[in-house]
Structure 1
């Protein structure tokens, strides 16, 4: 059982949850852009970032961790645009893409290892049933693997789900 002081980790992906790939109708500040453009300061997809989402993430009270192929670039390019401080970055081992059970995402094992038994939320647009089964069988702590629709990005309904899980797992 976690103490009220120890807040769960929140592993956060960038592409999909923070940078939605669908219609910009859900994000009025976000014009349509080509998802194949490489990441960087001039990337037009960065206009899809919701500048207020950082405050909403911080308000959850979790220990936020980048779990994205953006790596340190998430701190350099994404964090300042959405109002987040520099966050720890989950470094992917070279063998993280090694074959595992069919359908297991290559991020799943490194996330569970990094969590080291602590409760965590994983917010990503590529979470599968196999990831849920693997975490349930191999992670002794509580976890929420929260799939975000990549076309819409992290939205109000997602925040309601995250906050409800946090209230149940680690009430303030």
Structure 2
């Protein structure tokens, strides 16, 4: 695996990103790996002996069909690394919190001369399901039948709180159980961004899920603005994309640029997710 040693100064972060780009060789997860490696390197400089005069750190990366990961070995520190909860308005202190958010898993282990912090960004062990909110979960048509059928089961997700967006009442809470039963990793792929975890997940009884962070894009044409970002996020893993705006242009582009299997499933926004949609998704996942 590619490995390089850097001086323990913040001006080396640009070189770290360059090293990762060269190691990636055009891999779909290159930008994500750049970001995580840069955050780990900054953590080494700011919070370990690597940042002292004469200090250094090493960066490792590996890009394979089954896994994408990065690791930084520093010169040790008195405290073990921890991802702290951060103020969303803070301008610093996000490093390991961001690594934890962007990674499937991360950890720290002893290594000469100090410790090695690693992060697995993508793994092909399980397929992904990229889930939109408006349309699939919040239908735009007439209110769904479930609105008059709320269960008295105390274990069911709570209804939207008083004063909440009235469209939230259109969400069928039973979808949470159906989504959780699918053999895949759920990922929010919506303009709701982090609000999907704060607002939508509790209504479905879902845990906090990873969220796709959309890059700025000036692309014009028939391709959906989410398509490139989702393929990059998947990094070769099989995935299902559930959205109400998918077109044949998106399917053709994914077929040409994604190195794994993919199901781009368009949901009728007037009805939202139905039993037929779940059956299609379940059958496709079962064939992997």
Instruction: Provide the TM-score with structure 1 as the length reference.
Output: 0.85
Aligned residues: 153
User: Where does residue 99 of structure 1 map in the other structure?
Assistant: 219
Query: Could you list the runs of 5+ residues in structure 2 that have no partner in the other structure?
Result: 1-64, 67-123, 149-162
For 2:145 and 2:242, the matched residues in 1 are separated by 19
| Offset, 1:7 | 1.5
Where 2:190 maps in the other structure, the secondary structure is coil
Root-mean-square deviation (Å): 1.6
Match of 2:275 among 156, 161, 166: 156
| Offset, 1:9 | 0.2
User: Where does residue 65 of structure 1 map in the other structure?
Assistant: 187
Does residue 118 (structure 1) correspond to residue 237 (structure 2)? The answer is yes
Instruction: Provide the TM-score with structure 2 as the length reference.
Output: 0.51
Match of 2:145 among 16, 23, 27: 27
User: Where does residue 88 of structure 2 map in the other structure?
Assistant: none
Where 2:169 maps in the other structure, the secondary structure is helix
Does residue 90 (structure 1) correspond to residue 223 (structure 2)? The answer is no
| Offset, 1:61 | 1.8
User: Where does residue 99 of structure 2 map in the other structure?
Assistant: none
| Offset, 1:99 | 1.6
Task: Report the structure number with the largest CA radius of gyration.
Answer: 2
User: Where does residue 114 of structure 2 map in the other structure?
Assistant: none
| Offset, 1:27 | 3.1
User: Where does residue 171 of structure 2 map in the other structure?
Assistant: 49
For 1:131 and 1:43, the matched residues in 2 are separated by 31
For 1:125 and 1:71, the matched residues in 2 are separated by 17
Where 1:15 maps in the other structure, the secondary structure is coil
For 2:175 and 2:146, the matched residues in 1 are separated by 14
Match of 2:199 among 70, 73, 77: 77
